[in-house]
Amino acid sequence: MNDYLVKALAFDDQVRIYCVRSTNTLNTIGERLNYYPSALAAVGRVLSVGTMMGAMLKNQETVTINVHGNGPIGKIIVDANAHGEVRGYCDNPHVHFEYHNVGKLNVRDTVGDTGFISVIKDLRLKEPFIGTIPIINGELGEDFAYYFNVSEQVPSAVSLGVLVGTDNRAIAAGGFIIQLLPNASEEVVDKLEKLIANLPSVSSLLSNGESCEDIIKRISGNDHRILDTIPVTFKCNCSRERFEKGLISLGPGELEE
């Protein structure tokens, strides 16, 4: 199955949902530098959320994410655009920690539990939008939910997952973002909480053959409408402009070192 992203509205357009499958794209990245499982899982989570954030943009707008924790992976950088084109990399792909839960890689120790996440959006204006938050968890799903709630003031739930096989390749990678729109009622919020309370992990759903559409159906109780479906592909854009955006995300302190 090819990678792709689906955008939908649910509950009479009171909730916005993004869901992405990014398995092949992540494996393309992982094979280039022989990523170890924990590093692949960490980069894969940022890759998925970056792809979904790219889908929130228009035309030639782009987003660059810099996750810089105190873990051994160092910086994770992801670039994405509105057309499903994405790339990602990290400082140290040769990081692996044993499972700290059954079937779950230890992403927190890989990324670290302190540091910052910086999001740079090039909206084709005079200056880019830059939002920065502290890392609060290190598992990344909760961290990006915090970003949306604090930096963009959009109540959001974020689920990200990567299942890695014994050959160090991703079996399944993807995620979803659920966002409450300003008109969302308490009734809809309650209904949504009940629907997602016992939802299996996104990586297990994808590895069991469920599509993005199936996952959105679970989240919405089949009360939704699809807005768009976008193919997701790896694209390396190593232009000077991209490099300069990466420097912006480092911050003045790091640039002086």
**pLDDT at residue 23, as a whole number:** 99
Q: How far is CA 66 from the centre of its chain?
A: 12
Measured in degrees and rounded to the nearest 5, phi and psi for residue 80 equal -145, 160
**What would you measure as the largest C-alpha separation in the chain, in angstroms?**
52
Question: Quick one: how many helices (H) and strands (E) in the chain?
Answer: 9, 11
Strand partners, 29: none
Tokens linked to 180: 């409450």
Mean pLDDT across the chain, nearest whole number?
Answer: 92
What span, in angstroms and rounded, lies between the C-alpha atoms of 54 and 234?
A: 13
pLDDT (average), residues 101-112: 84
Q: What pLDDT is stored for residue 257 in this prediction?
A: 39
Q: Which residues contact 101 (CB under 8 A, 6 or more apart)?
A: none
Mean pLDDT, residues 231-235 = 96
- Whole-number Å distance between alpha carbons of 215 and 213: 5
Model-level pTM? 0.91
What's 4-252's CATH class? Answer: alpha beta
Evaluate if residue 119 carries a pLDDT over 50: yes
CA–CA gap between residue 147 and residue 50 (Å, rounded): 12
Q: What is the pLDDT of residue 237?
A: 66
Average of per-residue pLDDT across 179-195: 96
- Band (238; pLDDT cuts 50, 70, 90): low
Contact predicate 116/122, CB 8 Å? no
Question: Residue 256's pLDDT is what?
Answer: 40
Residue extents of the structural domains in the chain: 4-252
Residue 121: how many CA atoms within 13 Å on its side-chain side? 18
**Cα distance between residue 10 and residue 19, in whole Å:** 13
* Per-residue DSSP letter, 200: P
